[in-house]
């Protein structure tokens, strides 16, 4: 019964959700209105069994809508950390009230599992399920794999989150270092989030 209900929920997801190119992007380009771009990345610290996720929300021509870093302890491995970062990114976008979102991350494993309609049975299945449940609140969404170089601002924020050793959120801004980086990238004409 549970499985049938889960399959029905997957079928009810907007069809646009999982249909985007599988080619990894090298640089970030601003989304077209009314879409908003949410980039996420993670720093995993195996010796500490800890991870720090960075989430950056950018809209229109590279304007920073918000950013957040999350600190997590007792994280088993980097794939679990990436899946957890994705869940944080989706939750943050939902909490901001966004409805048309392009999610970008540099974990091909997590992105491919979210784009697949298949029931996930891996060690990150719980996170994939949580992510899919959160996505039910969006009008339209897409997932895109992006290379590390194109996910630079989110990666910097994940590293900064490790130094902060706590969760921190900025709405309509970011930490000073993230604001400076986004402004520099916007002036160069491409934002590498």
Task: Encode the chain (193 residues) as per-residue pLDDT tens digits.
Answer: 444 444 444 444 444 444 344 445 556 566 677 899 999 999 999 999 999 999 999 887 778 889 999 999 999 999 999 999 999 999 999 999 999 999 999 999 999 999 988 888 899 999 999 999 999 999 999 999 998 888 888 999 999 989 988 898 888 878 888 888 887 777 766 545 5
The b-or-e profile of 39-54 (16+ CB within 10 A means b, else e) is bbbbbbeeeeebbbbb
Q: For 2-188, CATH number? A: 3.30.420.10
- Sequence spans of domains, the chain: 2-188
48 HSE (CA, 13 A, CB side): 12
Please tell me whether the peptide bond between 34 and the residue prior to it is cis, using omega within 30 degrees of 0.
yes
Tokens of 158: 């994940």
Q: Are 141 and 104 in contact (CB under 8 A)?
A: no
Tell me the backbone φ, ψ of residue 45, rounded to 5 degrees.
-120, 90
The long-range contacts involving 2-8, CB below 8 angstroms and separated by at least 24 positions, are 3/119, 6/119, 6/129, 7/119
Q: Are 160 and 180 in contact (CB under 8 A)?
A: no
């Amino acid at each position: 019964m549970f499985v049938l209900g889960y399959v029905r929920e997957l079928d009810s997801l907007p069809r646009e959700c999982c249909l985007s190119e599988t080619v990894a992007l090298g640089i970030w380009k601003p989304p077209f209105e009314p879409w908003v771009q949410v980039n996420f990345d993670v720093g995993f610290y195996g010796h500490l069994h800890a991870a720090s996720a960075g989430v950056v929300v950018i809209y229109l021509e590279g304007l920073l809508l918000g950013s957040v870093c999350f600190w997590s302890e007792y994280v088993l491995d980097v794939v679990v950390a990436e899946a957890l970062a994705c869940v944080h990114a989706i939750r943050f976008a939902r909490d901001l009230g966004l409805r048309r979102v392009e999610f970008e991350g540099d974990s091909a494993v997590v992105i491919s599992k979210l784009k697949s309609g298949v029931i996930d049975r891996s060690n990150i299945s719980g996170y994939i399920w949580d992510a899919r449940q959160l996505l039910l609140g969006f009008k339209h969404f897409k997932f895109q794999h992006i290379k590390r170089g194109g996910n630079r601002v989110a990666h910097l924020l994940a590293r900064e989150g490790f130094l902060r050793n706590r969760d921190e959120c900025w709405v309509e801004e970011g930490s000073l270092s993230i604001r400076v980086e986004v402004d520099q990238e916007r002036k160069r004409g491409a934002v590498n989030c």
